[in-house]
C-alpha cells in the first residue's frame, strides 16, 4: 500500500449450488490465500455463498438461514486478515429479498450493498426472487446491525486513496450504472460481484465493457464472475475475471477455470488523473463508511515498461508511428499554408532529430502536393562535424529530392571568437554555443532570403533537460519534434527506414546507429568526441523519469522505486539514482528555456509547451521534489 499501490484479487471458488457450508469453506480458503499474497481487496462472485443458480430455492427460509450462518463463519475465520472481503449472498429485509454484497473487514460487516438493477429478460429472471434497491435500510445480521445501501463509499483511514464502491453484475450493463455516481463521489475502485453466463462473443464484449468503464470513470474496475459449480441446467458460467485500470487491462483469468486473479493498482495515478480532469464532476452526497488496514509495502507484481512512450507490440508501434508522423506533418502543412511560405529551412546535421524533422517536412510537402525542392536542407560543418554525419546528411537530401546547401561556418565562428575575445582552444560552453547560435543565424537568414521559415529539430527529452542552446537550436518558427521524446524519435526514424530502400534506407539505419551528439567539440581520430548520453545520462532513463514526473506527478521516491523494477538488470540502483537526481536538477534549472518555446504540434499526453500542458515558474525551487531515499 506504499506509494499508492494496492493489490486486488478476483476470487472464483468452485461451489456447490445451495450448499452454503461447503461454499463458505471454499471462500475462506481463497480469502486466506489471497490475503497471504498481499491482496488488500478480495472480491468474490455474485451470490457465491449460495450459488447464483438457486432459482426458486432463494425463497426458501432454510437457504437464507444457511447463508447467514455461512456468512458468520466467513466473518469469524477471516477476522485476522488485513484485507477487505466482498462476498455475495441473498438478504431478506422488511419482507423483501435483496441480492447483496457483504463488505467484510476484520470481523466487521462494513455494509451490505444491494443490487440496483434486477434483470428480467432472456435467460435472466431475477425479478422473480429479488427486489431492486430503492431506499436505504438497516438489518441485523450475524449479530451486527448494518445498513443496506447501494450508495456507499468505503474508505480506508490509513490509506486515503483506497476508496471503493460496489455494484453487482447487471448494474454495469445498464445505461446509467451506479458506478458513475460512485466514481463522482470519489471511489477510485469499483468492485463488481457478477454471475455473467457465457455465450458466443460475450467475453469480448464483457472485456470491452469493463475496460471502457474504467477509462470513462478514471478508476480501477475489479470484476469477479461466477464459475464452475453453478448449475448448468440452462447456462454455463466461466469465471471470467477482469481487473482494469483507466482503460488498461491489468489482469484477466482464463475462462472455465477457478482460482484467484491478482493485479497491483496504482491509486495515486488514478487520483492524479481525477485531479487534472476538471470536467470530471465530483459529488460527495453518498454515505461514507471507514475502515482501517495496516499499511504494507508490496513487492510489486506489476509490469512496468522501460519505455512508457513507446508501444511494445510491433503492430501497435507501427500504427503509432504512422499516426504520429501524420500529426506532425499535418501541423507543419497547415502552418505552411497559413503563412504562404515559399520554403521551409532545416539544419540537417545527419543526427536523429534533424533527420526526423526532414522526414516530417517531406511528408508535409507531399500532403500539400508541393515540390520537395521547397525544402531547403542546410548542413553547416564546423569544428566538431564528422565525415559520417555530414555524408549521411548529403545522402538524405539527395534521396528525398530536397534542396541542399553546404555552408561551412568555421570562418564565421572563428571571426566571432576574435570579436569577443574567446580563445578557440578553450573548449568551454562559449566554444560550443557560439557554433549553435551561428547555425541558427544562418538558417534564419536563409529563411528570410527564400520567403520561408525555419523548422525546429529539438525533441521533448532535450527540452526536459534543457539540452539546447538558448536562442540557438532552442529557437525556430515551428518545432515539429517538440513533443516527441528521444526514445520515440528513434522508432519513428526506424519506421521510415522500414518503408524505404536503397541508399536512403542505408543512411537512415546508419543514423540510428550513430551516437547522439551535438558535435560541438573536435572529433578524436575522426570519430564523435562528444556523446550526449555520457554527459546527461541515458535518454531511456530520462524519458522514463519525464513521463511519470510530468504525466502523473509522482514523487522522486516513487519514480525511483518503479525505475528499479523496470530497469532491473539494465542499470544498477546507484546509476538510476544518479541520473534521476540529474534529471530533477536540470528540469528545474532549465525551465526558462521552455517558457519561450516556438509553436509545435502536440502529439502525446506529455508536452512541455507553456501554451499547452505545462506551466511552471522558471525560478521554482526543486527542494521538495528531490529524491529522499539514500
| Distance from C-alpha of 191 to C-alpha of 600, rounded to nearest angstrom | 42
| Distance from C-alpha of 287 to C-alpha of 269, rounded to nearest angstrom | 25
Residues 6+ apart with CB under 8 A from 223: 10, 172, 192, 194, 206, 210, 241, 242, 243, 244
- Residue 629: burial class (beta carbons within 10 Å; 0-12, 13-18, 19+): exposed
Q: Where are the alpha helices (DSSP H) in 148-258?
A: 178-184, 202-216
Cα–Cα distance list, 479 to 241, 434, 454 (Å): 46, 21, 9
Catalytic residue among 54, 169, 244, 321: 169
Sheet holding 39-43, edge to edge: 137-141, 144-148, 108-114, 96-105, 84-93, 39-43, 5-12, 259-266
| Distance from C-alpha of 468 to C-alpha of 581, rounded to nearest angstrom | 19
Bridge partners of residue 138, in order along the sequence:
147
| 3-class DSSP state of 225 | strand
Catalytic residue among 20, 68, 105, 115: 115
Q: Is 184 one of the catalytic residues?
A: no
Phi, psi of 399, deg, nearest 5: -65, -40
Chain centroid, CA 246 distance in Å: 8
Catalytic residue among 20, 46, 161, 593: 46
- Secondary structure of 473-528 as H, E, C letters: CCCCCEECCCCCCHHHHHHHHHHHHHCCCHHHHHHHHHHHHCCCCCCCCCCECCEC
| Distance from C-alpha of 329 to C-alpha of 357, rounded to nearest angstrom | 9
Cα Rg of the chain, angstroms:
31
| 3-class DSSP state of 345 | strand
DSSP state of 52: G
DSSP state of 176: S
Phi, psi of 514, deg, nearest 5: -85, 135
Please tell me the total number of residues recorded for the chain in this structure: 630
| Distance from C-alpha of 482 to C-alpha of 604, rounded to nearest angstrom | 10
| Distance from C-alpha of 266 to C-alpha of 58, rounded to nearest angstrom | 39
Neighbour tally for 58: CB within 10 Å: 22
**Sequential DSSP letters for 545-608:** HHIIIIIH---HHHHHHHHHHHTTTTS-HHHHHHHHHHHHHHHHHTHHHHTTPPP----SS---
Q: Is 169 one of the catalytic residues?
A: yes
Residues serving a catalytic function are 46, 115, 169
Amino acid at each position: 500500500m506504499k506509494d499508492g499501490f494496492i493489490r486486488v484479487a478476483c476470487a472464483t471458488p468452485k461451489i456447490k449450488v445451495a450448499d452454503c457450508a461447503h461454499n463458505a469453506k471454499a471462500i475462506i480458503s481463497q480469502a486466506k490465500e489471497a490475503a497471504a499474497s498481499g491482496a488488500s481487496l478480495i472480491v468474490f462472485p455474485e451470490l457465491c455463498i449460495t450459488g447464483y443458480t438457486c432459482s426458486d430455492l432463494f425463497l426458501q427460509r432454510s437457504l437464507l438461514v444457511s447463508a447467514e450462518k455461512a456468512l458468520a463463519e466467513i466473518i469469524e475465520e477471516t477476522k485476522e486478515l488485513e484485507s477487505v472481503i466482498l462476498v455475495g449472498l441473498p438478504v431478506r429485509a422488511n419482507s423483501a429479498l435483496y441480492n447483496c454484497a457483504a463488505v467484510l473487514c476484520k470481523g466487521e460487516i462494513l455494509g451490505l450493498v444491494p443490487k440496483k438493477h434486477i434483470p428480467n429478460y432472456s435467460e435472466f429472471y431475477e425479478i422473480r426472487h429479488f427486489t431492486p434497491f430503492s431506499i436505504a435500510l438497516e438489518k441485523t445480521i450475524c449479530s451486527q446491525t448494518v445498513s443496506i445501501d447501494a450508495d456507499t463509499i468505503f474508505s480506508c483511514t490509513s490509506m486515503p486513496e483506497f476508496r471503493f464502491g460496489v455494484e453487482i453484475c447487471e448494474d454495469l450493463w445498464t445505461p446509467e450504472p451506479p458506478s458513475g455516481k460512485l466514481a463522482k463521489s470519489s471511489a477510485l475502485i469499483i468492485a463488481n460481484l457478477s454471475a455473467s453466463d457465457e455465450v458466443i462473443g460475450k467475453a469480448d464484449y464483457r472485456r470491452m465493457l469493463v475496460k471502457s468503464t474504467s477509462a470513462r470513470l478514471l478508476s480501477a474496475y475489479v470484476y469477479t464472475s461466477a464459475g464452475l459449480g453453478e448449475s448448468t441446467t440452462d447456462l454455463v458460467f466461466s469465471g471470467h475475471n477482469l481487473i482494469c485500470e483507466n482503460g488498461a487491462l491489468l489482469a484477466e483469468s482464463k475462462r472455465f477455470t477457478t482460482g484467484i486473479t491478482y493485479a497491483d493498482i496504482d491509486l495515486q495515478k488514478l487520483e492524479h488523473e481525477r485531479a487534472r480532469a476538471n470536467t470530471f464532476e465530483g459529488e460527495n452526497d453518498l454515505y461514507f463508511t471507514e475502515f482501517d488496514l495496516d499499511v504494507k509495502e508490496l513487492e510489486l507484481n506489476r509490469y512496468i515498461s522501460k519505455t512508457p512512450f513507446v508501444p511494445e507490440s510491433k503492430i501497435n508501434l507501427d500504427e503509432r508511428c504512422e499516426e504520429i508522423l501524420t500529426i506532425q506533418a499535418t501541423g507543419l502543412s497547415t502552418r505552411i499554408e497559413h503563412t504562404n511560405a515559399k520554403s521551409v529551412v532545416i539544419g540537417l546535421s545527419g543526427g536523429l532529430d534533424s533527420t526526423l524533422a526532414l522526414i516530417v517536412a517531406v511528408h508535409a510537402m507531399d500532403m500539400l502536393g508541393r515540390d520537395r525542392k521547397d525544402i531547403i536542407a542546410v548542413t553547416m560543418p564546423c569544428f566538431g562535424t564528422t565525415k559520417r554525419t555530414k555524408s549521411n546528411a548529403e545522402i538524405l537530401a539527395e534521396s528525398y529530392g530536397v534542396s541542399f546547401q553546404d555552408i561551412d561556418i568555421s570562418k564565421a565562428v572563428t571571426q566571432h571568437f576574435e570579436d569577443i575575445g574567446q580563445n578557440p582552444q578553450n573548449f568551454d560552453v562559449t566554444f560550443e554555443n557560439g557554433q549553435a547560435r551561428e547555425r541558427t543565424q544562418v538558417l534564419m537568414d536563409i529563411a528570410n532570403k527564400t520567403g520561408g521559415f525555419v523548422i525546429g529539430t529539438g525533441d521533448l527529452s532535450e527540452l526536459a533537460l534543457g539540452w539546447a542552446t538558448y536562442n540557438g537550436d532552442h529557437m525556430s518558427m515551428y518545432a515539429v519534434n517538440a513533443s516527441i521524446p528521444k526514445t520515440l524519435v528513434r522508432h519513428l526514424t526506424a519506421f521510415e527506414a522500414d518503408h524505404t530502400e536503397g541508399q536512403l534506407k542505408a543512411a537512415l539505419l546508419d543514423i540510428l546507429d550513430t551516437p547522439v551528439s551535438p558535435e560541438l567539440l573536435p572529433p578524436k581520430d575522426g570519430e564523435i568526441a562528444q556523446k550526449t548520453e555520457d554527459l546527461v545520462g541515458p535518454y531511456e532513463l530520462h524519458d522514463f523519469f519525464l513521463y511519470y514526473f510530468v504525466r502523473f506527478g509522482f514523487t522522486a521516491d516513487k519514480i525511483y522505486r518503479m525505475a528499479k523494477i523496470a530497469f532491473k538488470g539494465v542499470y544498477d540502483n546507484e546509476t538510476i539514482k544518479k541520473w534521476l537526481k540529474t534529471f530533477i536538477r536540470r528540469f528545474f534549472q532549465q525551465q526558462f528555456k521552455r517558457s519561450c518555446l516556438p509553436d509545435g504540434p502536440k502529439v502525446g499526453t506529455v508536452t512541455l509547451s507553456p501554451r499547452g500542458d505545462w506551466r511552471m515558474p522558471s525560478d521554482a525551487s526543486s527542494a521538495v521534489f528531490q529524491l529522499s531515499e539514500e
